[in-house]
Structure 1
Amino acid sequence: MSSVTPRVATAQPSLRRLVAALMAPTLMMIMTMAMFAVAVPVIRLEFGLTADVTSWLLVAYTLPFMMLMPLYGRLGDGLGKRRLLLFGISLFVLGSAMLLVVRSLPMILLARAVQGAGAAGINPLAMAMIVQFAPTEQQGKALGAWNSIGPVAAILGPLVAGAMIDTLGWRSILFPALLIGVITIIVSARLLPHSARKVSSRTLLRTFDWGGVILFNGTIALLVFFTSSRPITGIAPLRDVRLLAAGLLFLAGFVLWARRHRNPFIDLSIFRSRNFSLASICVSIRMLLMGGAHFILPLFVTDLYGLPSAITGSLLMLHAGALLVTMWLGGIIIDRWRSRMQIVIGLGIESLAMLLFVLLPAGAALHWVFAILALHGLGAGLCLAALHLYAMGAVARNRSATAAGLYSMVRFGGSMLGAAIGGVVLYGGIEAHGISAAGYRPAFLFYLVVSVVGAAAALGLSRKMPSPVE
């Protein structure tokens, strides 16, 4: 019988050093995602893909990305957040290397899935480490500073990708991605602090709720396949009742299993907190709109304006720049005012942007597209830090990694649905109206309706953010 002495953090790490270290993997992940978004129209043309199949270039990444977040969160509480974060970063780099060398579409999708499986741990583990080590009064500022690297990466990514794709082809974007990945592993290994481990690795892995993991991930995969079934079964989206029935059966099994298991994979009691549940819904809708914008807009400007990759990259760069401005400001505002109205206003601005896209006439000047997307970025950035704190402040600190995993899963599940459902709606619009402004309008209308639902849901949060649960 082996025994393992848990490693305990002996000193409180410098908050500035911690945030800087956590920025490195976030930079790697988001910059690679942003660069790949610019490549999607080129890959679509190379393989002759329809809109709903094209969306799987993003869904293949976001599906394991979303499904594995709670697993990283739960294991992080027991095995140590630093150890799992380094594992995830290494897996992401492996997926990027695969993507560089494979040539067939199925293998490209597999490489994207490996990337997503590695990236799944970055957000929940980074967020949990900040909540664990940062003083309560500095958490909003720390989360805002950490999140601010996202727009910086999203600014650099499209700019670099656009120039490289136009001159060297889309696979060339993977060389800087791999270089950043290797540097990230070195920086993270040197700077990230160790945290306490509650049990030995062997004990945790032996007693872990792997049945719950299988039932939960089976539910998610089957329901996603149902929403975009054509690439999976060849049947039109939302028509293959076999996938729906199997997904609902897995869901029922998961709920029953979680209620009866002594230490379930996902503790459903976390969702009894109104603030946690509503903040999770709102952040999922925010990411649905973000994922939709990053999927639809590059195709929109390529199809209707004939823009090269470099200009498409500048479009996403502008969106990221707007995000950066209000994301930094949003972290400061929520620490001072602690009000739900910051979230309501942010989602309201996103709703306005989607309404303007719906009303955009055929042949509208390109600068209007840029302006509306920048407006959307301002709204998306304003509400992010507030949503993080409303959610994470509703759970005890000793459950921070578990809660962060669930919250991040719901958050990025929205991004996946934004691409998957958006691709299905876009396919229908193009089938009915051709490649035109009218063909894209149903997709923008879908995003508008969802954004209004998000703003309304934010009104259900407590007026003032309560003190964190200890």
Structure 2
Amino acid sequence: MTAPATSPSPHAARPWPALWALVIGFFMILVDTTIVSVANPAIKAALDPDTNNLDNVVWVTSAYLLTYAVPLLVTGRLGDRFGPKNIYLSGLAVFTLASLACGLSTSLGMLIAARAVQGVGAALMTPQTMAVITRTFPADRRGAAMGLWGATAGVATLVGPLAGGLLVDGLGWEWIFFINIPVGIIGFVLAWMLVPSLEKHPHRFDIPGVLLSGLGLFLLVFGLQEGEHFDWAPWVWAMVVGGVGVLVAFVWGQRRTTREPLVPLDLFRERNFSISNLAIATVGFTMTTMALPLMFFIQLARGLTPTESALLLVPMALISGVLAPFAGKLLDRTDPRLLLVPGLILTSAALFWYAALMTVDTPIWQFLLPSALMGIGSAGMWGPLATTATRMLPPRQAGAGAGIYNTTRTIGSVIGSASVAAFMQARLEANLPGAADAPSGFGGGTLPPAVAEGFSQAMAQTVLLPASVLLLGVIAVLFLRRPKTLPAPSPAPVASAAAE
């Protein structure tokens, strides 16, 4: 039953402290992702040193993204039904404990399994952050709140690689996961104290829809991920086609169901919500895939340490973190296309620039330049897209809308992670014929000059994939429109503490 609404609490009147508390958990999720991208070479060297297949270690990312993506549709609804605060705290506890298991892993398989549990925790947490913003901030101030959300992503891109580099170099790859434990405890206490207990809304859960969406995603991702490893055997293609078919059946079922659907398709009648979901899928694809080939190139072909590799990303993180709040405030007063089109174009241009620089002879300092350009682009991308997607959502559908938005972003990331593994391995085979059969693997330190040139070409060609996909996002956001009217500001209903 729905908890009785009471008068707004001080938390609802002052939503910023609650948002800052939630941002700690969101920040931890983002840092964890960027830390792993820097640590992948070290993880491969420690747990999978004897093979030349890079797709094995990519599963450390793909398993996390897969279990992150599948539950998002239902975890958003769980926040509506049981309160975003309760679900957020549950997810934070799962994520923190799974981080401990990741650090204690003694094999690649064990690490992948622990990362899968981490993904479930992240799936419980993420929609609640956006739902609280939607339900506690009036629409005409939501851009500033989402600006903080975007700035968090920018700062995380700095802290993650730097912390990852320092921890991997100084203490070992295990500590990129152990560091989550104190952060998780602090975030749990602050969220318990500062996040309000918002009104609950009753929902019925579409279990067949959950099963179909999970099965479809698994078939699609596993087929893409392992296709190159199994020489694209007929059964691999059957998995990919079957996954697409199951997802089509899922959408058809959501449209025909007489019960409450897992995905309220009516939300897609709002033009900006639909287009923002398409665009964020391309962003998720791009930001997941670009880090893997870039970090492998910097560390294996150029011989930089994880810390030195991370320092090359400092301009991107600093510029994005500084500009994102201003972009959010500007979005409250302007057409979203004025920020999103240049933001996406600049980010794509930075990736094409990276690809052009990825040779064994390029001076290392030149990699700071596309990093700075990407920082400018990112500031006009993350926060503005989230604001545009959620601005017109009714409070009752806040959790569902946030779940759908984060699902499409994570599906883009999952498909990107699977695709980049196959594409990267294909480019390696094309530029270094017979590399998969070589007696030594890519996990043993800096590559010899005879191999480094072909390896660099393969990684550069791989970066062209996310750069091109992001251009599809540019085309999508051209069809956005500026909202003519905004919902009148109103305080969010708050449930009594006892009801939570």
CA contact (8 A) 2:290 2:463 kept: no
| Contact map agreement 1:140 1:332 (CA 8 A) in 2 | yes
What pairs with 1:225-304 in structure 2 (closer than 5 Å)? 225-230=222-227, 234-236=230-232, 240-261=236-257, 262-304=259-301
Q: Do the aligned partners of residues 222 and 88 (structure 1) sit closer, same or farther apart at CA in structure 2, a change above 3 Å counting?
A: same
Aligned to 2:413: 415
Q: CA deviation at 1:459?
A: 0.7
CA distance in structure 1 between the partners assigned to 2:94 and 2:216 by the alignment: 24
Give the TM-score normalised by structure 2.
0.86
Asked whether the 8 Å contact 1:22–1:126 carries over to 2, the reply is: yes
Partner of 2:492: none
Change over 3 Å in CA distance of 1:219–1:316 after alignment to 2: same
Q: 2:221 aligns with which of 218, 221, 224?
A: 224
Matched, 1:23 2:2: no
- For residues 446 and 368 of structure 1, what CA distance do their matches in structure 2 show? 21
**C-alpha separation between the residues in 2 aligned to 1:296 and 1:361?**
10
For residue 343 of structure 1, the aligned residue among 327, 330, 340 is 340
Aligned residue among 348, 352, 356 for 2:353 = 356
Distance 1:278 1:30, change over 3 A: same
Instruction: For residue 436 of structure 1, give the secondary structure of its aligned residue in structure 2.
Output: helix
Q: Give the 3 Å change call, closer, same or farther, for CA 92–454 of structure 1 in structure 2.
A: same
1:1-150 alignment runs, 5 A limit: 6=3, 8=5, 10-12=7-9, 13=12, 14-46=14-46, 47-48=48-49, 50-150=53-153
C-alpha contact (below 8 Å) 2:201/2:396 kept by paired residues: no
In the alignment, which residue of structure 2 is the partner of 1:186?
189
How many residues are aligned here?
459
8 Å CA contact 1:394, 1:469 repeated in 2: yes
Q: Hey, what's the Cα distance between the residues in 1 that align with 2:352 and 2:391?
A: 33
TM-superposed CA distance for 1:76, in Å, is 1.4
Residue 341 of structure 1 deviates from its aligned partner by 2.2
> d(CA) in 2 for partners of 1:244 and 1:299?
27
Cα distance, 1:408 vs. partner?
A: 0.9
Q: 1:394: Cα distance to partner? A: 4.0
Matches within 5 A, 1:286-435: 286-360=283-357, 362=359, 363-434=361-432, 435=454
Over aligned residue pairs, what C-alpha RMSD do you find? Answer: 2.2
8 Å contact kept, 1:76–1:84: yes
Higher percent of residues as helix? 1
Distance 2:373 2:223 in 1: 33
Go from structure 1 to structure 2 and tell me whether the alpha carbon gap of 1:251 and 1:146 turns closer, same or farther (over 3 Å shift): closer
For 1:465, the equivalent position in structure 2 comes to: 483
Alpha-carbon shift at residue 234 of structure 1 (Å): 4.0
What runs of 5+ residues in structure 1 fail to find an aligned partner? Answer: none
Tell me, yes or no, if the aligned pair for 1:9 and 1:195 is still in contact at 8 Å. no
Give the Cα–Cα distance (whole angstroms) in 2 for the partners of residues 253 and 350 of structure 1.
35
Give the C-alpha shift of residue 136 in structure 1: 1.9
Structure 1 pair 337–252 and aligned structure 2 pair: CA distance change class (3 A): closer
Whether contact under 8 Å (1:228, 1:238) holds in the other structure is no
Query: Does the Cα contact within 8 Å between 1:65 and 1:117 map onto a contact in 2?
Result: yes
Q: Is the 8 A contact 1:147 1:327 kept in 2?
A: yes
| Residue 33 of structure 1, CA deviation | 2.3
Contact conserved, 2:314 with 2:371, CA < 8 A, in 1?
no
Q: 1:467 to 1:224 in 2, by over 3 A?
A: farther
Identity score, percent? 27
User: CA–CA distance in 2 between the matches of 1:291 and 1:197?
Assistant: 34
- Of 156, 161, 165, 1:162 maps to 165
In the other structure, the counterpart of 2:494 is none
* 1:265-288 deviation digits (Å, cap 9, x = unpaired): 112222233211111111221222
Give the structure-1-normalised TM-score: 0.92
Given residue 71 of structure 1, which amino acid in structure 2 is its aligned partner? V
Runs of 4+ in structure 1 deviating by more than 6 angstroms, as ranges, are none
SS in 2 for 1:170: coil
For structure 2, the 5+ residue unaligned runs are 433-453, 489-500
User: Using a 3 Å threshold, how does the CA distance of structure 1 residues 374 and 141 change in structure 2: closer, same or farther?
Assistant: same
1:38 and 1:396 map into 2 onto residues whose CA distance is 39
1:467 counterpart letter in structure 2: T
Q: Does 1:441 align with 2:460?
A: yes
- Whether contact under 8 Å (1:9, 1:194) holds in the other structure is no
Q: CA deviation at 1:334?
A: 0.6
Does 1 or 2 have the higher relative contact order (CA < 8 Å, sep 6+)? 2
Distance, in Å, in 2 between the alignment partners of 1:339 and 1:302 is 38
Q: Matches of 1:361 and 1:298 in 2, distance apart? A: 11
**8 Å contact 2:336–2:388 — kept in the other structure?**
no
Q: Distance in 2 between matches of 1:53 and 1:469?
A: 49
Q: How does 1:203-214 map to 2 (within 5 A)?
A: 207-214=204-211
CA distance, structure 1, for counterparts of residue 205 and residue 101 of structure 2 = 30
Residues in 2 aligned to 1:139 and 1:423: alpha-carbon distance in whole angstroms: 37
